């Protein structure tokens, strides 16, 4: 059984993230959406809140599990019995950052491979950072996120 781990802060989960998970669910036997924390990113939602939103948004996918984690990604991947990490690429800037992560993850766990998927063209411009900013100023984010996420973001503002 091939398992892939799709990590991120999902702050919030966007339609771009959902697109990648749906496509990965058609490729792999098991997809674990690993909702993590980041020392470099401020999070307005709790880890538990982000996990719950991801579970709600992805509930239609039978082979997808959502888990929170607060350790090194490579340790989490090993603990889940996986050896694949899925990452999304939208821009050249994403590639540069992701390439650094691949190198570091290889140094920490050479047995774990990273694969990349690009979101559908009409979703490539969506980022959690932009969605948060739009929501902060009272803008309409309904085209970029699941309705549950839009409601949760409105409650936080």
Say if CB 134 and CB 35 are below 8 A apart.
no
Q: Which of 17, 50, 132, 146 is catalytic?
A: 17
Asked if 60 is an active-site residue, the reply is: no
pLDDT class for 152, splitting at 50, 70, 90? very high
Contact 54, 10 (CB under 8 A): yes
Other beta carbons within 10 angstroms of residue 128's beta carbon come to 21
Whether 157 and 27 have beta carbons less than 8 Å apart is answered as no
Question: C-alpha angle 34/39/41, rounded to 5°?
Answer: 80
For the question of residue 17 being annotated catalytic, the response is: yes
pLDDT exceeds 80 at position 39 = no
Q: Please, are residues 128 and 35 in contact by the beta-carbon 8 Å criterion?
A: no
From 90, 106, 127, 148, the catalytic residue: 90
11-34 pLDDT, tens per residue? 999 999 999 999 999 999 999 999
Instruction: Based on the residue annotation, tell me whether 78 is a catalytic residue of this protein.
Output: no
Does the global pTM surpass 0.85? yes
CATH topology of domain 3-124: Rossmann fold (3.40.50)
List the domain boundaries for the chain.
Answer: 3-124
Q: What is the pLDDT of residues 53-99, one digit of tens each?
A: 999 999 999 999 999 999 999 999 999 999 999 999 988 888 888 99
Q: Which two tokens stand for residue 25?
A: 């669910």
Please identify which of the residues 2, 41, 122, 151 carries the catalytic annotation: 41
Catalytic-role residue among 87, 128, 132, 146: 128
**Does 128 participate in catalysis according to the annotation?**
yes
């Amino acid at each position: 059984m091939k398992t892939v781990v799709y990590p991120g802060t999902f702050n919030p989960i966007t339609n771009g993230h959902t697109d990648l998970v749906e496509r990965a669910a058609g490729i792999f036997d098991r997809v674990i959406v690993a909702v993590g924390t980041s020392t470099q990113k401020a999070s307005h939602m709790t880890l538990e809140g982000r996990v719950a939103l991801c579970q709600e948004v992805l509930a239609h996918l039978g082979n997808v599990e959502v888990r929170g984690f607060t350790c090194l990604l490579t340790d989490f991947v090993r603990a889940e019995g996986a050896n694949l990490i899925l990452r999304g690429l939208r821009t050249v800037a994403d590639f540069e950052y992701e390439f650094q992560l691949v190198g570091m993850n290889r140094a920490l766990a050479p047995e774990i491979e990273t694969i990349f998927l690009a979101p559908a063209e009409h979703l490539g411009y969506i980022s959690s950072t932009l969605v948060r900013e739009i929501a902060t100023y009272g803008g309409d984010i309904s085209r970029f996120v699941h309705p549950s996420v839009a409601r949760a973001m409105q409650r936080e503002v």
